[in-house]
Amino acid sequence: MTDCIFCKIAAGEIPADIIYEDEDVLVFRDLNPQAPVHVLIIPRRHIATLNDLQQEDAELIGKMSLVAKTVAEQEGIAQEGYRTVFNCNAGAGQTVFHIHMHMLGGRPMNWPPG
């Protein structure tokens, strides 16, 4: 997707504060953090929303959760706790249409979310 900002970050065309990467997944700090730790876990491959997931994406989505666990340990928030969120479509607040798992931590998280 040539006009996708997260594809451009994955391709190295736009800078980002990348804290983890492998052949499938990239993790970088959110430009507008909502918590002391706020990172985005994305697949390198463009998938617009959770609604676009296919059965063959199961391993990739599972891997994103395992990466979240690793990054939480790396960021020192694994024990105190953190929140992971996928926003799907505009009604849930999705603004970038390349799936991303938010990981937020470093402060108490309220429930229910806004």
Q: Which residues carry out catalysis?
A: 100
Nearest-CA neighbor of 19 among 5, 39, 44?
39
Q: Write each residue from 32 to 71 as x if it is in contact with ligand 5GP (CB under 6 A), else as -, in one continuous string.
A: x-------x-------------------------------
Residues within window 51-110 making contact with Zn ion, judged by CB under 5 A: 98
Whether 109 and 37 have beta carbons less than 8 Å apart is answered as no
Among 49, 74, 84, 87, binds ligand 5GP (CB under 6 A): 87
Classify the phi-psi angles of 12: left when phi > 0, otherwise alpha if psi is within -120 to 50, otherwise beta: left
